[in-house]
Amino acid sequence: MSAGAFPLVLEQCETHARRMQWAKHALQAFFPLHANQLHALDDATVAIIDQFVGRFAKLQDAMGAKLLPMVLELTKEQGDLQAYLDKLNRLEKIGALASVDEWLELREMRNAFAHDYPEESALQAAVLNRAFVAADRLVEILHRVKEFAARYEHE
């Protein structure tokens, strides 16, 4: 990946974050969600929930697959960091990530969106409620990574 790609990936992440936050704001009145509410939501609200879920997942994916590895490249961190967990540990050690465990929890949450539980409203509501709270933390992590990387971008 070229150094010139970093601003493009960062812009992509910021777009996902901005749209996720818009959807979160639009849904504020419905949260915390209860299982019995899910089936009563109108199509427009469901579409906004879909927007929130999609942007949460896309942001987490873009950061994990593109942005975080680019930060390691920017810092010129040495070592054989082939495993994803090794990369995360290095990012935590150098201060780009506050917590590997927190990042992995966000990843698990993102993975939970990939499973559709149409008959399990309580599970759907629980996952959405967790993500609704975690969305702000995901954006905070993006800002932390951006600030950290800014120190290295012009080297």
- What string of DSSP letters covers 60-121? HHHIIIIIHHHHHHHHT--S---SHHHHHHHHHHHTS-S-HHHHHHHHHHHHHHTS--TT-H
Q: How confident is the model at residue 118 (pLDDT cuts 50, 70, 90)?
A: low
Q: Predicted confidence band at 120 (pLDDT cuts at 50, 70, 90)?
A: confident
With residue 67 as reference, give the H or E element that holds it: none
pLDDT, tens digit, for every residue of 57-106? 999 999 999 999 999 888 887 666 678 898 899 999 999 999 999 999 99
Q: Which pLDDT score, from 0 to 100, does residue 116 have?
A: 66
Read off the pLDDT of residues 20-34 as tens digits, 9 standing for 90 and up. 999 999 999 999 999
Confidence of residue 145 (pLDDT cuts 50, 70, 90): very high
* pLDDT recorded at residue 40: 92
Asked if 39 and 7 touch (Cβ cutoff 8 Å), the reply is no
Q: How confident is the model at residue 2 (pLDDT cuts 50, 70, 90)?
A: low
Task: Give the count of beta carbons closer than 10 Å to the beta carbon of residue 137.
Answer: 14
pTM of the model: 0.91
Mean pLDDT of the chain: 90
Nearest to residue 103, comparing CAs of 81, 113, 88, 114? 88
Q: For residue 67, what are its two tokens?
A: 């942005």
